[in-house]
Amino acid sequence: VAWQQVKEYTDIIFEKYEGMAKITINRPEVRNAFRPQTVDELIEAFNLCRDDQEVGVIILTGQGELAFCSGGDQRVRGEGGYVGTDGVPRLNVLELQKIIKYIPKPVIAMVAGYAIGGGHVLHLLCDLSIAADNARFGQTGPRVGSFDAGWGATYLARVVGHKKAREIWYLCRQYDAQEALDMGLVNKVVPLAQLEEETIQWAQEILEKSPIALRFLKAAFNADTDGLAGIQALAGDATMLYYMTEEGKEGKNAFLEKRKPDFSKFPRLP
């Protein structure tokens, strides 16, 4: 695939090709750990994908074969968060988590090597995960003095069950690709050399499907776990669809034409 760069960044690579966007965390010297700037760039790239009508599927990955992402860069961890050039401690990866979860397009994690700590949570929140046979998964928080008691814990329990999720967080072990597949943490395991080819195949199959159907399904899967915030997103999608109908347009047109709306011609289906 002839990926084409969308925009130049320092910590990530952002490319597109025929309906697919590929966002690569590009800090292989630290196993693709993220610092605040990395997260800011990821947020911007995801937001560009959200607005770009050509993009139907987003692939999130890490540079090189050794890691998807190893979580927060512990070298810049200060008091109260990870510190960027502005000196402010931040946990801005939580904003990135929300965008991955709520962007109305499927996001596929393409995982080679380690998906660890906050990097594990990123793959967890992607709609689908395709793993190379060298992938390794795990949380480290209680070992390195951190924890993600948000989606990192609670959504993990929805995905792999409570017993397994508590094991993953309490013991901080690592799990290989086959174990991850067995517990429903990833969708498919392939040899490392076929990772991108397989992921693209999945992306292309998704791209053949109805965007609005996919959008509502993603919103519904989220709404089931996310309470009123999930319903807000699902309801927003319903409003978007209603604005596209003649019935919705009649209300707006009547207002602008300073007349009473005539909804009589619209069906009241069973």
Strand order through the sheet with 77-78:
77-78, 81-83, 89-90
173 in contact with ligand 1HA (CB under 6 A): no
Residue 58, beta-bridge partner list: 21, 107
Among 50, 95, 133, 144, binds ligand 1HA (CB under 6 A): 144
The angle that helices 93-102 and 36-51 make with each other, rounded to 10 degrees, is 20
The angle that helices 93-102 and 118-125 make with each other, rounded to 10 degrees, is 10
| 60/67 with CB nearer ligand 1HA | 67
Convert residues 22-61 into a mask of x (bound to ligand 1HA by CB under 6 A) and - (unbound). --------xx-x----------------------------
- Rg of the chain on CA atoms, in Å: 21
Residue with nearest beta carbon to ligand 1HA: 71
Q: By C-alpha distance, which of 32, 117, 30, 26 is closest to 69?
A: 32
State phi, psi for 68 to the nearest 5 degrees. -80, -60
Q: Which two tokens stand for residue 103?
A: 């962007």
Q: How far is the CB of 106 from ligand 1HA (least distance, A)?
A: 24
Q: Which two tokens stand for residue 177?
A: 């690709």
State phi, psi for 188 to the nearest 5 degrees. -160, 145
| 15/148 with CB nearer ligand 1HA | 148
Residues 83-142 binding ligand 1HA (CB under 6 A) are 91, 93-94, 114, 116-118, 140-141
71 in contact with ligand 1HA (CB under 6 A): yes
| 106/113 with CB nearer ligand 1HA | 113
| 106/141 with CB nearer ligand 1HA | 141
Residues 238-267 binding ligand 1HA (CB under 6 A) are none
Residues at the site binding ligand 1HA, with contacts judged by CB under 6 A = 30-31, 33, 67, 70-75, 91, 93-94, 114, 116-118, 140-141, 144, 146, 148
